[in-house]
């Protein structure tokens, strides 16, 4: 039997498929949700789930949570003298779920379908697969959470074709996916999201309000235990808002008890910044899929954070569409993963459905461009497989030598959305030798092939000799500090601002870069040309030239966003 697992930031679940449909498997405590928390005592005893979560309040230094946000990195968690990578901690959670499933089903379980956020990059997906293998599971497929949720909601059983949007706000990540259903095919049209936005952040808002209303508390001198206690009470305060206009929070710190009464209106107002962060991926996914709001037939809510009443109200207003909440949002992904497992087993009782997925980030290489003064400028990004391209996909780009008697061409494999190579994540590098000759005479065809298992193959063919070099790109984040890991992950979502003398110039450049990242295809080319023209004017340092170029570039951006 192939089980389905939702490996979550805050909670994890396991499910299996029966003739009556998918069902959640309760854990050893009889609960459906297993907190994604690991704790280790001084004797080396490992605690998982609810027990670990409880122990974390007493021994925060020997406990770990929210490590899914660091999945795929070399960040280490030290628990009672033992060091763990995020994937190793995840493996402990998966092993516990495997044991729960075996106890419940009374049979050995060796295969699983595991879900990941749609916006997880290759490195994070491969780390999740390794976590499954460390737990003793053969990972049959890594499935995107929104796609799993779509299956759970039975979208493929609808008789009418249509477009659906899955709004997935979990404990630590946010995904929005646009899917199209036709016949027995579910096609993912576009994905977008934020790997650092989720229910944990909405809890932190309440923590911040608590400190604002209790200025006598010095946050900086509190112990980890006291901070964990405040977080727990803030989480309880958040959960009380379901169906209520007011919620209270009470914390005992030392001999003092501090209380706070919070209204839903005040809380919602304080969450404006987080709600704005939600809007951006939605806008990007609609643009990439070339779909308008009115074209969406159904909006599905997934993830525990969507149980917040004001989140549901926010989604309803945004889409002018009452969201579908017919399945427990905590359980939808695990149920869908179980259905996918049944499909892999080709069970007779389930309808076969074809799933297509997309590449979540643009894959490309670093190139050199020639400026009008005849000089070459390196560090530019050339997209080869653009984000939200249906996979498997294979794309080829021809590159030429830029110097006389050049003997090699370097292909730096990059992942990201910035037009500057340094702002994107480096996945690897390949160098090939080319015959000496005049600049521009020798060329190579660079082919990227990306498959459904998130494996990227790069092939470089030297045109004049026919020599071919192939390499499977394996991401590796070794020898990196925690800060460097964080910077690399943030590089995928945020564009560095290049300094300019005047604030207005900075603003326009940033807006242009943002539009470049949000666009694909021909639109990217038009924005690139406009950016280069404005940058050329800035390089003159002539105020009159800059003023005219700034006015022209501003009008271009305004026309482009209309």
pLDDT at 501: 47
Phi, psi of 214 (to 5 degrees): -130, 70
**Average confidence (pLDDT) over 523-527:** 88
Q: Is the pLDDT of residue 165 over 90?
A: yes
pLDDT tens, 466-488? 999 999 886 444 333 445 434 43
CA dihedral (159, 289, 199, 12) positive or negative:
positive
Q: What is the pLDDT of residue 483?
A: 55
The dihedral region occupied by 151, where left means phi > 0, alpha psi between -120 and 50, and beta the remainder, is alpha
Higher pLDDT, 505 or 159: 505
Predicted confidence band of residue 161 (pLDDT cuts 50, 70, 90):
confident
Confidence of residue 252 (pLDDT cuts 50, 70, 90): confident
Read off the pLDDT of each residue in 104-114 and give the average, rounded to a whole number: 96
Residue 155 scores a pLDDT above 80: no
Average pLDDT across the chain, whole number:
86
pLDDT given at position 54: 82
Cβ contacts of 253 within 8 Å, gap of 6 or more: 217, 222, 226, 229
pLDDT of residue 44: 78
What's the rounded Cα separation, in Å, for the pair 336 and 300? 13
CATH superfamily, domain 359-482, is: Substrate Binding Domain Of DNAk; Chain A, domain 1 (2.60.34.10)
**Euclidean distance between CA atoms 373 and 540, whole angstroms:** 12
List the single range of 79-88, 237-246, 450-459, 496-505 with lowest mean pLDDT.
496-505
**40-49, 125-134, 468-477 — which is least confidently predicted?**
468-477
Residue 388 near residue 190 (C-beta atoms within 8 A): yes
pLDDT of residue 494: 31
- Confidence tier at 371 by pLDDT (50, 70, 90): confident
| Weakest-pLDDT range from 118-122, 128-132, 413-417 | 118-122
**For 411-462, what is each residue's pLDDT tens digit?**
999 999 999 999 998 888 999 999 999 999 999 999 999 987 778 899 999 9
> d(Cα 545, Cα 366) in Å, to the nearest integer?
30
Mean pLDDT of 354-361: 83
Q: Residue 557 has which token pair?
A: 């951006």
Write down the pTM of the prediction: 0.76
pLDDT at 506: 67
The reported pLDDT for the residue numbered 476 is: 45
Q: Where residue 349 falls among pLDDT bands split at 50, 70, 90?
A: low
Kindly report the CATH number that applies to the domain delimited by 2-197+273-358.
3.30.420.40
How far apart, in Å, do the first and last CA atoms of the chain sit? 53
Cα angle 170, 161, 386; round to 5: 60
Question: Do the beta carbons of residue 412 and residue 366 sit within 8 Å?
Answer: yes
Contacts for 110 with CB less than 8 Å, ≥ 6 apart: 136, 137, 138
pLDDT interval class at 386 (50, 70, 90): very high
* pLDDT at res. 42: 82
Give residue 186's pLDDT: 83
Domain 199-272 in CATH 3.90.1010.10: no
Contact, 172 vs 200, CB < 8 A?
A: yes
Longest alpha-carbon distance in the chain: 81
Nearest to 170 by CA among 313, 14, 332, 27: 332
What are the sequence ranges of the domains in the chain?
2-197+273-358, 199-272, 359-482, 497-562
Say how far apart CA 483 and CA 372 lie, in whole Å.
39
Residue 438 in tokens: 């005049």
Q: Find, among 148, 177, 442, the residue nearest to 285 by Cα.
A: 177
Q: Output the CA–CA distances (angstroms, integers) from residue 268 to 265, 330, 347, in the order listed.
A: 5, 22, 46
């Amino acid at each position: 039997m192939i089980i389905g697992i939702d490996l979550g930031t805050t909670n994890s679940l396991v499910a299996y498929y029966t003739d009556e449909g998918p069902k959640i498997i309760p854990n050893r405590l009889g609960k459906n949700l297993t907190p994604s928390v690991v704790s280790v005592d001084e004797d080396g005893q490992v605690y998982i789930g609810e027990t670990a979560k409880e122990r974390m309040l007493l021994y925060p230094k020997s406990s770990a949570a929210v490590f899914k946000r660091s999945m795929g990195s070399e960040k280490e968690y030290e628990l009672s003298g033992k060091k763990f990578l995020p994937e190793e901690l995840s493996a402990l959670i998966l092993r516990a779920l495997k044991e729960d499933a075996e106890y419940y089903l009374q049979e050995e379980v060796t295969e699983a379908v595991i879900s990941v956020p749609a916006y997880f990059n290759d490195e994070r997906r491969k780390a999740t697969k390794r976590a499954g293998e460390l737990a003793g599971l053969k990972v049959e497929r890594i499935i995107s959470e929104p796609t799993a949720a779509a299956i759970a909601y039975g979208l493929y059983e609808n008789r009418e074709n249509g477009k659906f949007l899955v709004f997935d706000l979990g404990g630590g990540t946010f995904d929005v996916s646009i899917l199209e259903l036709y016949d027995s095919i579910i096609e993912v049209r576009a994905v977008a999201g934020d790997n650092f936005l989720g229910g944990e952040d909405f809890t932190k808002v309440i923590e911040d309000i608590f400190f604002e209303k209790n200025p006598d508390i010095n946050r900086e001198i509190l112990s980890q235990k006291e901070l964990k206690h405040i977080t727990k009470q803030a989480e309880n305060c958040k959960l009380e808002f379901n169906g209520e206009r007011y919620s209270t929070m009470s914390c005992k710190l030392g001999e003092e008890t501090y209380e706070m009464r919070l209204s839903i209106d005040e809380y919602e107002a304080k969450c404006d910044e987080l709600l704005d962060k939600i809007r951006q991926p939605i806008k990007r996914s609609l643009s990439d899929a070339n779909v308008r709001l009115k074209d969406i037939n159904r909006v599905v809510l997934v993830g525990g954070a969507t149980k917040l009443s004001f989140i549901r109200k926010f989604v309803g207003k945004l889409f002018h569409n009452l969201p579908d909440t017919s399945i427990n949002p905590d359980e939808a992904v695990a149920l869908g993963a179980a259905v996918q497992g049944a499909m892999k087993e080709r069970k007779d009782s389930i309808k076969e459905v074809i799933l297509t997925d997309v590449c979540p980030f643009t894959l490309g290489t670093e190139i050199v461009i020639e400026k009008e003064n005849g000089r070459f400028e390196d560090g530019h990004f050339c997209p080869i497989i653009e984000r939200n391209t249906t996979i498997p996909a294979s794309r080829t780009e021809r590159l030429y030598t830029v110097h006389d008697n050049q003997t090699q061409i370097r292909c730096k494999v990059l992942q990201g959305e910035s037009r500057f190579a340094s702002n994107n994540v480096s996945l690897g590098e390949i160098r090939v030798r080319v015959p000496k000759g005049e600049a521009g005479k020798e060329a190579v065809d660079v082919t990227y092939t990306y498959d459904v298992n998130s494996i990227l193959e790069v092939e470089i063919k030297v045109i004049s000799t026919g020599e071919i070099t192939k390499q499977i790109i394996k991401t590796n984040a070794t020898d990196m500090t925690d800060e460097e890991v964080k910077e690399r992950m943030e590089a995928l979502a945020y564009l560095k601002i290049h300094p300019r003398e005047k604030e207005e110039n900075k603003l326009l450049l940033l807006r242009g870069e943002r539009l470049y990242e949000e666009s694909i295809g021909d639109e990217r080319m038009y924005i690139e040309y406009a950016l280069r023209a404005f940058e050329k004017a800035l390089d003159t340092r002539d105020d009159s030239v800059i003023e005219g170029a700034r006015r022209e570039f501003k009008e271009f951006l305004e026309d482009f966003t209309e």
